[in-house]
Amino acid sequence: MIHVPQALKTTLTLLVLAGVLAVGAWWGWSSLTTPFDEDASADEGTCAPLEIARGDRVTPDMVEVVVLNSGNRANLASTVMEQLTSRGFVGVETGNSETEVNRVQVWAPTRRGPGIQMLMSSMPKGTKVRKRDVDTLTVVLGDGFTDLATGREAVKATRAGTLCQPAAS
């Protein structure tokens, strides 16, 4: 067995640790200073327009939704989003809303359309659709929200419209 002096072991250990530190510092600095991929961020939330004619069949997988919590109930938006995606809706985002809602509202760029018709089949009775400057149908939940309605598996569009067809993954 070869005897290696303690000073040499210590020096080698320090060199290896210095190398690990240098690689970590280089990786951290390069990650910090690398600009965001603007093309990738521009692709998020984009979709292909899908023209729906009156009488066409609309299913939940054709409808993108955002769910926001305007109340004080923790994880309400996430829980409702899980329920909607389990029904086939395409979940885009969850978060909080600064606009106060008592029970539930649906925000949409227009008050009528095939996507709204499909989403409203899962909303509780009395849910109002509010015309807002949003790109995606948005469900805003308040503390008075109790539960989703049963919902339908598909609806026939009562009017023509354009859906934001989710990009194929």
> Can you give the pTM of this predicted structure?
0.69
Per-residue confidence at 3, pLDDT binned at 50, 70, 90?
A: confident
Tokens of 91: 């979940």
Is pLDDT above 70 for 40?
no
pLDDT at 167: 62
pLDDT at 46: 58
Domain boundaries along the sequence of the chain: 1-34, 48-166
Helix (H) / strand (E) element for 166: namely: strand 161-166
pLDDT at 147: 94
Q: C-alpha distances in angstroms, 26 versus 31, 35, 36, 114?
A: 9, 16, 18, 52
Task: Let me know: does 101 contact 76? Beta carbons within 8 Å.
Answer: no
DSSP 145-157: --------S-EE-
Residue 148's closest CA among 121, 115, 122, 116? 122
Higher pLDDT, 75 or 165: 75
Residue 81's closest CA among 102, 60, 109, 108? 60
Least confident range from 40-49, 74-83, 160-169: namely 40-49
Task: Let me know: does 32 contact 59? Beta carbons within 8 Å.
Answer: no
CA angle 114, 119, 124 (to 5 degrees): 135
